[in-house]
Chains A and B, each alone.
Chain A
Amino acid sequence: MKTILNVTELCKTYIINKRQNNVLKNVSFKIDEGEMVAIMGPSGSGKSTLLYTVSGMDKMTAGSVEFCGNDISSLKENELAELRLEDMGFIFQQMYMMKNLTVLDNIILPAVKSKRNKESRKETAARGRELMNKLGIAEVADNDINEVSGGQLQRACICRSMINRPQMIFADEPTGALNHRSSDEVMEELTKLNDEGTTIMLVTHDAKVAAKCTRVLFIVDGNIKGEYNIDRSVSLRDRERGLNNWLLEMGW
């Protein structure tokens, strides 16, 4: 398998009120193509910081991150923006969308912005609708973002993250603001995407969500404390049980 993300000795330090706060301490790991990796850990352990740093949204203090063979620490602001636009997809806990655009327009916005996309506007819109159809939200395409449910909105966010056919999707607690049913629906879609070959890295608090991934990294105080591989061929209940036992061992 080809390594898509290679993180080596990554450090991230914030200085708040003249006090140094080392959020990530020499973190190293790899994610291969086609993997779906969950980052778990207690609150304040550095999960989200890790996700934002390795995706180039935040600057690292030390170490290196290679994404598809490119060292993102050496990239300039505009090059990072291009990388996020063309090769990465993002899903946030709060389902951020542009409030003046319809659901479909929000989805296709990155494609319209993309320089790599040579499709006509009509073709892009058709592809957006196709993605929505696939995720079961085609009926809300022309709705205002306030006119749809949280679950539908998060699925729209998944569509948006997919629109530029990214190498990898980064998701920060994608089910964090959803109810149980919506959460299951969203995770089902993400798992499907992963099965189709999309690499995913997600941050979660929920063992049920993590059990649907292929690997779990457990992070405590800015260090990766353990790594747990999941066999998707076993039943979900067994996967959850196994993961919960491991998390207990980790002190969860």
Chain B
Amino acid sequence: MYFRILKKDLKRKKTMNVILLLFVILSAMFAASSVNNIVAVVNGLDYYFDKAGMTDYFSATRGEENDIKVDEFLKDSEYVTDYGTEEIIYTTSESFRRGGDKLYDFSNVGFVQNVDGCFLNLFTADNKILKSVDEGKVYISGAGMRKADIEPGDKITFEMNGVTKEFEFAGFLKDALFGSEMIGNPRFLINDKDYKDILKDETTAEYSKGRLYYINYTDKNAFEESTAEISPYLVLNFSRSMIEMTNIMNMTIAAILLVLSVGLLVVSFTVLRFTISFTISEEFREIGVMKALGLKNTSIRGLYLVKYFGISVIGAVIGYFASVPFGKILLASVSQNMVLGNDNSVLYGILCSIGVVLIIMLFCWSCTKKIKKLSPIDAVRNGQTGERFKKRGVMSLSKSRLGSTGFLTINDILSAPRQFGMIMLIFTISTAIVMILSTTARTLASDSLLYLMSVTESDVFLSDSERSMNTIASVKSIEDTNREIEDILKENDMPGDVKMESWYKIPTEFGSTKKNITFMWCRDTKTTDYEYTEGTAPELENEVALTKLVADDLGCGIGDTIKLTINDKTDDYVVTAIFQCFNNLGSCGRLNENLDMTKTPPATSFYYQIEFDDHPDDKVIEERIEKLKDIFDTENVFDKTGFTKDCMGVADTLATVRDMVLILTLVIIVLISILMERSFITKEKSEIALMKALGFRSDSIIGLHTARFAAVLIAAEIIAAALSIPLTSLIMDPVFGMMGAIGKIEYKFDPKEIFLIYPAIILAVTTLSAFFTSLYTKSIKASDTSNIE
């Protein structure tokens, strides 16, 4: 008897049961994939770095003499527990060509490496550690290289100091050290024989060979202070925390996924709670009839619990299996550069699915509490006891100026605030996520962050790795290089001034604290041209400005005197200002332009900044950029917006994530609209039949059902648009803060995009799904008024 009732129920209320099953599947899928992604993202870098075998500290040398000095230092250092090395060949983007053209303009130096000499684990696209490379093949790492439009199997020509080799591209690598968007050094992993062939050239072996050092230490501060001794022999040096910071944009995207996952969890449980209470409220009549027949409360409650348990178990199992590919889609954009995951994903997935079943049973238990209160008379009254004192309708048709469809739309929404409020909440969360991403992507792709690169405004920014290498290696001075570029500009009828920011690694002391700090210096600009958050620009030779990060690290502030050792000479310098910048992850300082740094080779040189004499407009600048690309044979020529975008590196990835989230949002909104509308049709069957009997045309009813979703979505979009700017600031400020921007970020948002394009896309898709679902009302006839229970 018990199971016969159940069987009949499942068959007769097929639509509502199927809708409930679909929501359970969605919830289990969202919950399992979200929890797994949250675990993966939270443990993301640690998991990735552990798998890669990252050490506490990393540095790079160039030239055998320097290698020997660093080796001796590390062997003798009391703080070093162990270290590993990799032999590398320094190279530039000039060396890699495809069909005569540069393969890709990577702005920094690249490293050619023998796969057999790898210390760090590098991963292939399917997260396998690269152990060997076939002769004639090359694997490439580095986020920038992914923009090179290159497919496995493509041929690449390598040419360096007269040695030419043909390689076949084998695939991209995930590189824990150089793989992030913020580091522009790609690695080229090749076979031992190919590597030796390149080193056969004496110039290469003598001048381009170097080493990467991976170091573990016992005392962070003591070791980092002691590295001041070897600082002149190092080309690059980073601590693990700094490398972690270079992955910040990947982590930003991961964090956005985390927010999205939490959003999905909220959406799934809200929907579930609604669906259960909705379906149980539909059962009032039957509960009353069962009570009238003499069934006990526990038996009736048990009947529903068994039914929902069955549905939730089936839904949770399907949802668990669906969560695996769904989770992978969510993580795809991040896992392109990182190995993300967790070793317990199956366990978490199963636990989440069980959790969904338990939560459903809990919801069901709480909803079926009402059974006790229901009397057989509810069978007649269809669940209405008549003891409701709150008015259901809140508007009055007799006083309204709206037409019947418009009135019913608004009145229905206002009369069921919980139902439509829940839909509005889901729509608001989904729309706000898209808007936040859009604003962030636009900000990153604009010049509003230019000041955070600590450069002055210029017409054009040019990156020339060959010339930069020459200045770093003291082959040519910065001044001569600038003049050389100015001459080229003059020859091509676009005369202008050229300047360049140089970065110097300078041993710095304050009290007992010693650090190697990166200082920026530009002879052709004034320190007053830059922005500072506190204090005044360092206008004298013995004055400096520091970022807040450096000032905190040293323990000093404005007015304090610090010691800098430049060219073996230690002098006092007064800190006059604090500023913010993204360079070197916010860890840097600025020297006064009058300080003579011409005798010190820079550790890094930034972009060549060009300011044309004739102050051309944007269109002319654009034309000149194209011309300069040909002249300097490089794609790395930008206007200020392009320059900021290139420095941030992640703008394009974020735009891709934004598009993916937009698609995901649309899918969720479409699913929810379809399922909700289908539930409403089932619930409102009697009203639909009545309206038809009263003479409402089918298109009026379809219009009403569609308009309700459209109205709720428009309200949700208005709320989301109003909240998008403060929410963007709330969520993204800490992320930019971690990169060095401690002050207020001026977010760029495109009103057309925020208020028109995205809302219109979401509105169109939602309205269409609600419209197509509401076509089902056509199957309800006016004469169904006689068949309604």
Instruction: Tell yes or no: A100 within 8 A of B by CB.
Output: yes
* A113 contacts B786, C-beta separation under 8 Å: no
* B695 contacts A121, C-beta separation under 8 Å: no
Question: A158 to B271, alpha carbons, bound, how many Å?
Answer: 40
Q: Within the complex, what minimum Cβ distance (angstroms) separates B420 from chain A?
A: 12
Question: A49 to B315, alpha carbons, bound, how many Å?
Answer: 41
Question: A151 to B559, alpha carbons, bound, how many Å?
Answer: 89
CB proximity to A under 8 Å, residues B382-408: 384, 386, 388, 391-393, 396-401, 403-404, 407-408
Question: A57 to B398, alpha carbons, bound, how many Å?
Answer: 28
In the bound complex, residues from chain B placing their C-beta under 8 Å from that of A146 are 384, 386, 388, 392
* A112 contacts B694, C-beta separation under 8 Å: no
Closest to B407 in A: A112
> Which listed segment binds A: B218-226, B469-477, B522-530, B777-785?
B777-785
* A124 contacts B398, C-beta separation under 8 Å: yes
Instruction: Tell yes or no: B451 within 8 A of A by CB.
Output: no
* B697 contacts A57, C-beta separation under 8 Å: no
Instruction: Tell yes or no: B332 within 8 A of A by CB.
Output: no
Closest to B394 in A: A100
In the bound complex, residues from chain A placing their C-beta under 8 Å from that of B693 are 57, 84, 90, 92, 96
Partner of A78, one of B686, B697, B781: B697
* A81 contacts B698, C-beta separation under 8 Å: yes
Partner of A82, one of B408, B687, B697, B781: B697
Closest to A101 in B: B393
Instruction: Tell yes or no: B174 within 8 A of A by CB.
Output: no
Closest to A126 in B: B398
Given contacts A100-B392, A100-B411, contact A84 B398 (CB under 8 A): no
Interface readout for B363-398 with A: 1 if CB under 8 Å, 0 if not?
000000000000000000000101010011100111
In the bound complex, residues from chain B placing their C-beta under 8 Å from that of A180 are none
Given contacts A78-B698, A85-B694, contact A102 B393 (CB under 8 A): yes
Interface SS of chain A: helix
Question: A142 to B690, alpha carbons, bound, how many Å?
Answer: 21
Q: Within the complex, what minimum Cβ distance (angstroms) separates B592 from chain A?
A: 74
Instruction: Tell yes or no: B692 within 8 A of A by CB.
Output: yes
Q: Within the complex, what minimum Cβ distance (angstroms) separates B453 from chain A?
A: 58
Question: A124 to B399, alpha carbons, bound, how many Å?
Answer: 10
Instruction: Tell yes or no: B333 within 8 A of A by CB.
Output: no
* B404 contacts A121, C-beta separation under 8 Å: no
Closest to B405 in A: A113
In the bound complex, residues from chain A placing their C-beta under 8 Å from that of B416 are 100
In the bound complex, residues from chain B placing their C-beta under 8 Å from that of A118 are none
* B403 contacts A98, C-beta separation under 8 Å: no
* B404 contacts A98, C-beta separation under 8 Å: no
Instruction: Please tell me the number of chain B residues within 8 Å of chain A, measured between CB atoms.
Output: 40
Q: In which size bucket is the chain A interface?
A: 35 or more
Partner of B393, one of A86, A122, A144: A144
Instruction: Tell yes or no: B788 within 8 A of A by CB.
Output: yes
In the bound complex, residues from chain B placing their C-beta under 8 Å from that of A144 are 388, 391-393
Instruction: Tell yes or no: A58 within 8 A of B by CB.
Output: yes
Q: Within the complex, what minimum Cβ distance (angstroms) separates A202 from chain B?
A: 14
Instruction: Tell yes or no: A99 within 8 A of B by CB.
Output: yes
* A113 contacts B695, C-beta separation under 8 Å: yes
In the bound complex, residues from chain A placing their C-beta under 8 Å from that of B482 are none
Given contacts A85-B694, A96-B690, contact A108 B398 (CB under 8 A): yes
What are some 30 contacts across the A-B interface (CB < 8 A)? A57-B783, A58-B782, A78-B698, A78-B699, A81-B696, A81-B697, A82-B697, A85-B695, A86-B695, A88-B695, A90-B693, A92-B786, A96-B788, A100-B392, A100-B393, A100-B411, A101-B393, A102-B393, A104-B398, A105-B396, A110-B694, A112-B397, A112-B407, A113-B694, A122-B398, A125-B398, A125-B399, A144-B388, A144-B391, A144-B393
The residues of B with any CB-CB pair to A shorter than 8 Å are 384, 386, 388, 391-393, 396-401, 403-404, 407-408, 411-412, 415-416, 686-687, 689-700, 781-783, 785-786, 788
Among all A-B residue pairs, the 5 with the closest Cβ atoms: A85-B695, A125-B398, A57-B782, A105-B397, A58-B783
